[in-house]
Amino acid sequence: MDKPRTHVTSLLTPRKERRSERRRRKQIATLQQRRARAAAAGARPAKEKPDKSMGAIPASGEPGPAALRSWLRFTVPPHAATSATLAGAYPFLAEAGLGTHGVLIGTDTRSGGSFVYDPWELYRQGVITNPNVLLAGVIGTGKSALAKSIATRSVAFGIRVYVPGDPKGEWTAVTRAVGGTAITLGQGQDTRLNRLDEGRRPAGLTDTQWASMVWARQRDLLGVLTETVLGRTLHPVEHTALDAALTATTRTPGVPTLPDVVAHLLNPDEGTEDASLLRVEGRDVAHALRRMVHGDLAGLFDGPSTVKFDPDAPMISLDLSGVTGNDTLLSLVMTCASTWMEAAILDPDGGKRWVIYDEAWRIMRHPALIRRMQTQWKLSRAYGIANLMVIHRLSDLDAVGEHLSEARALAQGLLADCSTRIIYRQESDQLAHSAVALGLTDTERDTLTSLGVGQGLWRIRDRAFRIQHQLTTGEHDLFDTTARMH
């Protein structure tokens, strides 16, 4: 760094000064200036002296009136204007985006820049507090297309995708296109899923630990299933009856299946205590599960699995379009299917995975399923899972269960646990609700009714992006859901 220099100048000019006095004062000032320069030059090493023959300009600038320097402070009077005027005066401000890590989604309609998204990366950077995503919009606005793009483009990054329930069967072609496995379930199909399969064994567990883990998982699944069919929580004795039946089933060699459990529920081992009590009290449970063995759900879960669940496949979807009937029936199948998948999903060594719930509002009608989703949501960070939930409107979450019910609280909790909220076009009666639930500004709220197909407001923490999702031609043909309407 250069040494400090002294510059001498007349700062004050007395008001009524005579010309001779002024000249005298200037002479003194010039003299002092020269002395100061000489002193500074003496202190400076000779080689630092500017070489005038080379035409170099001194570091302190040219002396004289062309120096463009002033001892006065440079001040600009403050100017106030509205943001609308300033945007016109200075239109070059643009959203910086979220970096360059992740899959390409499309373009930011405000800046024209490309928009990429990677929930794991954003989570790592601390931008978001969890990797879960909520996607809401009216029918036909391109929600499924976006979910499919995220899925298929993520596969290229080595991220696996699970679709635990596809009620319309629209993911089957997509799954097969990326080399994944689409499992088709429904009445009249040969496919069987045994929901009591052990699943994949995580590394580092002893035999005893693994056995108790499998038992706990099977027991949990049976409980959820029974509660879904019964539409109520289980009584303590019914829990005991289920425990006893499952224990008896696992004691026999071979893979336990649902018919075995039902058989043990209907006829508890005589050796067990209170066998007759369990037979009587466990009747509701037995008949609820029997529905899946001999009733209207027979043929789906009543035998050993015929398909192998390969957790290493790039993508797995469960096509439930063949499951006709009411929503309870569908969600029952979804419970079985998703819990069956869960064993693989909840593997901490499984790497990054997307779990996509298209048409999630259907699942939301069933408290037992919401509870499962909620557990998975909470565990997402630990297991490297990002959940994507597709619904129509945010008020779907309010339509769950009774006012102040556990189910409603769970559904609201799911929204709270989605750091990324993508809002596609909304009906005008939904605007106020969406704006409050998501903390949107008035401008953001007003854009919600005018969003086109594939356009969404991406709300990530307190930032909002208006993104046009871009489909490639190949994707457009593969994802098209309107073709069937013609």
CB closer to ligand ADP, 138 vs 307? 138
Nearer to ligand ADP, 166 or 347 (CB): 166
Of 142 and 268, CB closest to Mg ion: 142
Contact pick of 53, 82, 83, 482 for ligand ADP (by CB under 6 A): 482
* Part of the chain binding ligand ADP (CB under 6 A), chosen from 15-23, 152-160, 290-298, 476-484: 476-484
Report residue 275: phi and psi, to 5°.
-55, -40
Determine which residue in the list 132, 136, 143, 301 makes contact with ligand ADP, applying CB under 6 A: 143
The answer to whether residue 144 forms part of the interface with ligand ADP (CB under 6 A) is yes
From the list Mg ion, ligand ADP, none, partner contacted by residue 60 (C-beta under 5 to 8 A by kind): none
Nearest approach in angstroms of CB 221 to Mg ion is 28
Using DSSP bridges, classify how beta strands 353-357 and 385-391 pair: parallel, antiparallel or unpaired.
Answer: parallel
CB of 190 within 8 A of CB of 301? Answer: no
Q: Among residues 98, 122, 136, 145, which is the contact residue for ligand ADP, using CB under 6 A? A: 145
The answer to whether 456 contacts ligand ADP (rule: CB under 6 A) is no
Least distance to Mg ion, CB of residue 358, Å? 6
Selection from Mg ion, ligand ADP, none that 137 binds (CB < 5 to 8 A by kind) is: ligand ADP
Residues 119, 113: Cα–Cα separation, whole Å:
19
Figure out which of the listed residues 454, 458, 459, 467 binds ligand ADP, where binding follows CB under 6 A: 454
Taking CB under 5 A as the rule, does residue 149 contact Mg ion?
A: no
Residues between 101 and 130 that touch ligand ADP (CB under 6 A) = none
Give me the least distance between CB of 482 and ligand ADP, in Å please: 4
- Taking CA atoms, 326 is separated from 187, 368, 458, in Å, by 13, 17, 34
Q: Which stretch binds ligand ADP (CB under 6 A): 31-39, 55-63, 459-467, 469-477?
A: 469-477
Beta bridge partners of 353: 160, 385
b/e code 189-203 from CB counts within 10 Å (16+ = b): eebbbbbbbebbeee
Report angle CA 421, 456, 381 to the nearest 5 degrees: 25
Span interacting with ligand ADP, options 306-314, 320-328, 401-409, 477-485, rule CB under 6 A? 477-485
CA 112 to CA 96: how far, in whole Å? 11
According to CB under 6 A, which one of 59, 68, 80, 139 is a site residue for ligand ADP?
139
The nearest distance, CB 389 to ligand ADP, in angstroms, is 13
Q: Which of 132, 141, 144, 305 contacts Mg ion by CB under 5 A? A: 144
Burial of 319: CB neighbours in 10 Å, binned 0-12, 13-18, 19+: buried
Sole residue written with tokens 């998982």: 217
Q: Specify the residue for token string 């869960």.
A: 342
Distance CA 400, CA 410 (A): 9
What one-character-per-residue DSSP string does 67-134 give?
Answer: G---SS----------HHHHHHH-TT-----S-S-SEEEEEETTT--EEEE-HHHHHHHTS-S---EE
Q: How far is CA 480 from the centre of its chain?
A: 24
Question: Footprint of Mg ion on this chain (CB under 5 A)?
Answer: 144
Question: Footprint of ligand ADP on this chain (CB under 6 A)?
Answer: 137, 139-145, 453-454, 469, 471, 476, 480-482
